[in-house]
Amino acid sequence: MNGDSRDFLYKYALQNAVMHNNVPKAGAVLGALMGKHPELRPHAREYSALLGEILAEIGEMNSDERRTRLEELAPELLEKKEKKKRETGLRPLENVGEEGVVMRFAPNPSGPLHLGHSRAAYLNDYYIRKYGGKYILRIEDTDPKRVTEENYQLLLSDVEWLGIEVSDIVYQSDRMDIYYSYGEKLISMGGAYLCTCDSELFRELKNSKQECPCRNRGVEENLSLWKDMLAGKFEEGQITVRVKTNISHPDPAMRDFSIFRIVANPPHPRCDGLVYPLMNFSVAVDDHLLGMTHVIRGKDHIANTRRQKYIYDYFGWEQPTYFHYGRMSIGDIVLSTSAMKAGIASGEYTGWDDIHLGTLKAIARRGFSPEAVRNAMVDIGIGQTDINFSWDNLYAANKAIVDPIANRYFFVPNPELCHISGVSDRIATPLINPNDEAKGTRTLTFTGDIFLPRDELVDGRMLRLKDLFNVRVTKSDDGFSLEYSGDSLDEARTEHAQIVQWLPKDMAMPCMLHTPDGIIAGVCEPDVSTELNRVVQFERVGFARIDSVSETNVSAYFAHK
Ligand code: GLU
């Protein structure tokens, strides 16, 4: 192995570490390298060993140091990455007027918002920020069966957390008279009719492309039935208003769909009428009256976009420009409101912010910043292809935000109390944040007895106690004994000593770390208790949000490595 290969590997690994803001695994670096340079495959074994050493060295640097080093050694590798970063973003919109765009985020208040909703919220927000204009939060609450007082609160608090630039809030339940008036217009124009058929009968007729007997009622009779419908002379299920489309349309879903219905129960928390518009009608009327220029919605609304075209055409309105983004699956995380609700009721989940859920409340509790969710969603973009949501991307987006600011602490999981022999008392002063040395240091006083992660104690192994010294572990019948083994970092490197976090016996506060895989009991630095609601980095463990603090213990929620 010559010096050139080492240099080459060093630069390559360093570039990787800078690019991902993380120390990569040797296997990953090697895989990528061999992919790009198949001619190096015969050297895979030697490179692998060398990479192990190099990555350990790189692991000792903080992210600023890595960047500076790469800048010195190979500035061309640094530029590549930054250039790429500047190019990311969503494609420009067409049909943007002088005043910018008018767009909307239109959730139903049927439960808390989850990651899926954040995509619509942030994609729209992206364009409002880019072009200026208006961003309307439209609360689509015309289905009394899905609306409760609690749901409004959940929705508003989630929207606030998202931090989107909302200019107006519109409640559809405040606009019932508008829908009634446009409904009446459509009936008067002969574009809609009152249908009193049994719904089963209508479905059969529709499926065989046959008109129902109500379709040819005259306008006067339709208007009189409409008045009776509004006056409460019909029961739920007895009557509906249908748009006259094309009864032999190849897609049965387009045939004379319903636009108003009666819902008697449960009562709506915000309005008293019994007649409610269905979403295709209220959405079409609102998108037009509120002046939407562009609509970004999920692919599951493609059929609705087509249905709504009938309404636009009757009124002679021009449709906005639509984008339908593909489906996004989020692993096996539960997103359905009813399933979450059932899980909370049965005690399977602790609440809407249970760490196992994909709600924004759960994401917030784990210490993800809304900005990270925004970046991850803009990264996913507006394409129609179905995708799997990548948690790793969200972790990376969040890490880019919290890494520069999060204070560092030691958290020792599954702690084992150990005595270190052969060394006198010391004071260790690890940096509060290696990215920002001005923040200073913390003070950990070593007086002989310390807590160490039990899993790191292996007979014969050398450990490098972070910011302290090396120790050698020996296992005997009485447990482990640890002996001071010098201060030299070089020696630790040569021995491939694991660097471990530790805590003085008298400076250890019980800490429960909640992770999706269970709770890890450990001890942390007492100063962690000053970080309530903030994200910290537990060195070598990962980033976590401090969720609650008492005199005697701390509870933290794990975000990511
Ligand atoms: N309220 C609908 C939803 O949350 C969105 C309506 C639309 O994009 O037209 O799926």
Amino acid at 358: G
**Which atom, in ligand 1's list, is nearest to the CA of 283?**
9
**In angstroms, rounded to a whole number, what is the distance separating the alpha carbons of residues 361 and 348?**
17
- Residue 421 CA to ligand 1 centre (angstroms): 66
- How far apart CA 508 and CA 453 sit, in angstroms, is 13
What is the C-alpha radius of gyration for the chain, rounded to an integer number of angstroms?
31
Q: Does domain 177-279 have CATH number 3.90.800.10?
A: yes
- Ligand 1 center to residue 204 CA distance, Å? 28
Ligand 1 centroid to 505 CA: how many Å? Answer: 56
Q: Does the CB atom of residue 286 touch ligand 1 within 6 A? A: no
Q: What is the DSSP string of 75-96?
A: HHHHHHHHHHHHH-SPPPPSS-
Is residue 301 in contact with ligand 1, taking CB distance under 6 Å? yes
Instruction: Tell me which long-range contacts 487-492 makes (C-beta under 8 A, separation of at least 24).
Output: 489/60, 489/464, 492/462, 492/464
| Residue whose entry in the numeric block shows the structure tokens 């929620």 | 557
- Tell how far the Cα of 297 is from the centroid of ligand 1, in angstroms: 7
Distance 250 CA to ligand 1 centre (A): 25
Contact 413, 523 (CB under 8 A): no
Nearest-CA neighbor of 28 among 45, 53, 48? Answer: 48
Digitized pLDDT (tens) for each residue of the chain, 561 residues in all? 566 788 888 988 998 888 877 888 888 888 888 878 878 888 888 888 888 889 988 888 887 778 878 888 888 887 554 444 444 689 999 999 999 999 999 999 999 999 999 999 999 999 999 999 999 999 999 999 999 999 999 999 999 999 999 999 999 999 999 999 999 999 999 999 999 999 999 999 999 999 999 999 999 999 999 999 999 999 999 999 999 999 999 999 999 999 999 999 999 999 999 999 999 999 999 999 999 999 999 999 999 999 999 999 999 999 999 999 999 999 888 888 999 999 999 999 999 999 999 999 999 999 999 999 999 999 999 999 999 999 999 999 999 999 999 999 999 999 999 999 999 999 999 999 999 999 999 999 999 999 999 999 999 999 999 999 999 999 988 889 999 999 999 999 999 999 999 999 999 999 999 999 999 999 999 999 999 999 999 999 999 999 999 999 999 999 999
Query: Could you tell me if the CB of 366 is within 6 A of ligand 1?
Result: no
Task: Determine if ligand 1 sits within 6 Å of the CB of residue 138.
Answer: no
| 322: exposed, middle or buried (Cβ count in 10 Å: 0-12, 13-18, 19+) | middle
Q: Is 175 in the pocket of ligand 1 (CB under 6 A)?
A: no
Q: For ligand 1, is residue 294 a contact (CB within 6 Å)? A: no
Q: How far is CA 335 from CA 32, 111, 115, 340, 359, in A?
A: 35, 10, 9, 7, 7
CATH topology of domain 407-561: Ribosomal Protein L25; Chain P (2.40.240)
- At which residue do the structure tokens 């639509």 appear? 322
> With a 6 A CB cut-off, is 143 part of the ligand 1 pocket?
no
| pTM beyond 0.75, yes or no | yes
Report which ligand 1 atom has the smallest distance to the Cα of 296: 8
298: tokens are 């999920």
